[in-house]
Structure 1
Amino acid sequence: MQSLTINFQDDQLFTKVLWLLEHFKKDGLEVVSKDDIEDLKALSKTRNEESIPFEEYLKNAH
């Protein structure tokens, strides 16, 4: 897989490029925002952490 980061200073240009990229999704292109990537990285770091049942969490919620 290859990745490409593009920074936009113009919202109109961003919208146009995103519109263009949407047409390649059926060919396998995946468009992911940088914020989404950072969230996924943070989430993946927690995969090996111990977890507690949600009901237990609710008991201790304030």
Structure 2
Amino acid sequence: MKNKFVIFGLISILISLFFGGVAYQELVAENMDEVYLNIGYCTLFLSIAVYMWHIKDEKQKNNS
């Protein structure tokens, strides 16, 4: 249970990669509204992953 922030961070990165792939497919299909939507979701989940790692580092600092 110690590594729950790392696991949530990795899951967020995998989800963001999924949305990035969907955005690329929509770019090839020239559907720009869907591209921007999926890039937004990709950015959201990447920021969640970075925040999870930040929380993990803060918890380690406080416990030391």
- Higher Rg of the two aligned structures: 1
Higher relative contact order (CA 8 A, sep 6+): 2
TM-score greater than 0.5 by the shorter chain = no
What's the TM-score, normalizing by structure 1?
A: 0.36
User: TM-score, normalising length from structure 2?
Assistant: 0.35
Tell me which protein shows more helix as a share of its residues.
2
